[in-house]
Structure 1
Amino acid sequence: MNIATLQYNTKNAQFGITTTPGRQSIQQPQATVDIRQPKAAMNISSTPGVLAIDQSQAWADMDRKHIFQRIREAAAEGRQKAIEGTGRRAMEGRELADIHKGGNAIVAQAARHSMRNYETGLTWIPSHGSVKINYQPGDVNIDVQARKVENNTRANKPVISYQPGDVSFQLKQYPSIDFQVVNKTI
C-alpha cells in the first residue's frame, strides 16, 4: 500500500555577532609644583670677652721694672735713707755731746759702723701669684625668625579619553522549513 507521508527539513537561523572593544585611556599630568621657602631672618650680635693680664709684679720681681717705677722707688728709698741718716747723725751727735757723762761713744759708734748685715734667703722669682689674670666673658645673642613655607601646588585633573565599543548582530542564515510529500509503500 502506498501512503503519502510528509517529510520536512528545517534550517535554524544563524546569527553573527561582531564586537569592537571599547578603548579608554587615562593620563595624569604631573602636579604644578610651586613651593617657596623664604630665608629666615637671623641677627647675631656679640660682645667680645675681655682678658686682662697684669704681669708688672712678675717683672718687678725679676728686677725688670719700668723706668718710671725705678725713679719712684729710688726717690722713696733716697728720702727714707735721708731721714734715717739725719736721725742717726742726730743720735750720734747727742752721744758725743754726752761724752762728759762717761762711756766711750767714739768706740761704740765705730763698732756699729764696722758691722754690716746681709740678708740671704731662697725666694721664687717671680713670686707666686705675681701675674694677675682677669677675664670677663663675652656674650652672643642670636635672634632667628623663621618664615613659613609658601606652598601653591596645584593638582592637575586627569585627562580621560573613552571610545565606546560596538556590538553588531548579523543574520547569517535565515531560518527555513522545506516540506516534501513522499509516497511510501508499506
Structure 2
Amino acid sequence: MVKLPQIRLQSQMAQIQIQRTEGKQQISQPQAELTIVQPKAEVSIRTTPGKLEIDQTQAWEDMNLMHISKRNQRFAQEGENALMQGIARRARQGNELMEIENGGNPFVSQAMQNGHESKKSLAIQFIPSHFSVKTSYQPAEVHIEVQTNKPVIDATVRKPEFSYQPGKVETNLKQQQNLEISFTNLLV
C-alpha cells in the first residue's frame, strides 16, 4: 500500500452585512398672507337739463288774439296798405280819364269798379294756420366722470420650511472569512 499525501482546503467566505436607514426630507409651504383692499371708484354726474320752448305767438295772432300794441301795429299797416292801394287806383283811373280820346269807356268801367265793394271772403277765422306753433328743443346733457382707484394689495410671502434627517449606512462583518487547511494521507 502506498501513502499518497492529500491536502484539503475548506474555506468560508467573509460576509458583509449592510444596514441602511433612509434619509427623511420634509418640505412644507405655509400659505402667504394676502390682503386686498379695493377703494371705491369716484363717480360724478353733472346734468344740464333739457329745454323746451313753445312759441304760440303766431297761433294767437292767427286767431286775432294779440297784444294791443301788436293789433295797433297791424291796423296801422293795413291802413297804410289800403291808402297806397287807393292812391294807386285813383292815379290809374285819372290816367284812363286823361286818355279818353284813345277809346274805350272809362266812365262805365270806373263806375262799375267804384260802385261795388269787393266781396268779403267767408272763412273760419278762429283756427290758426298750420305750423303756427313754433317749438324748439335742446336735449339734456349728462356728463359722467369716473375716477378709478387701483386696488391696494399687501402680500406677505412665507419661505418654505425644510426639515432633513440624513440617512445612514452601517456595515459590519456578519461572517469572517476562514480557511482551513488539512493534510491527510490516503492509502491506496
Give the TM-score taking structure 2 as reference length. 0.62
Q: Is residue 2:16 matched to residue 1:15?
A: yes
Q: Which residue pairs with 2:172 in the alignment?
A: 170
Q: Which runs of 4+ in 1 moved over 6 A?
A: none
Deviation at 1:176, TM superposition (A): 0.8
Distance 2:52 2:135 in 1: 7
Residue 145 of structure 2: which of 134, 143, 146 is its match? Answer: 143
Distance 1:179 1:137 in 2: 125
Distance 1:30 1:58 in 2: 81
Letter in 2 for 1:180: S
Instruction: Provide the aligned length of Structure 1 versus Structure 2.
Output: 150
- Specify every segment of 5 or more residues in structure 1 that has no aligned partner in the other structure, as ranges: 84-107
Deviation at 1:184, TM superposition (A): 1.8
Letter in 1 for 2:41: A
Deviation at 1:59, TM superposition (A): 5.6
Distance 1:179 1:153 in 2: 79
Distance 2:61 2:17 in 1: 126
Query: CA-to-partner distance for each residue in 1:103-152, whole Å, 9 max, x for gaps?
Result: xxxxx9xx96x9683313599x4312211112234333333222232221
> How large is the RMSD of aligned CA atoms in angstroms?
3.5
Query: CA-to-partner distance for each residue in 1:84-109, whole Å, 9 max, x for gaps?
Result: xxxxxxxxxxxxxxxxxxxxxxxx9x
Query: CA-to-partner distance for each residue in 1:42-78, whole Å, 9 max, x for gaps?
Result: 2221211211122353366467x5xxx48x49x85xx
Classify the secondary structure of the residue corresponding to 1:33.
strand
Cα distance change on mapping 1:136 and 1:173 into 2, 3 Å: same
**Matches of residues 30-109 of structure 1 in structure 2 within 5 Å?**
30-58=31-59, 61=62, 69=66, 72=68
Distance 1:21 1:62 in 2: 114
- Specify every segment of 5 or more residues in structure 2 that has no aligned partner in the other structure, as ranges: 80-110
Distance 2:47 2:26 in 1: 64
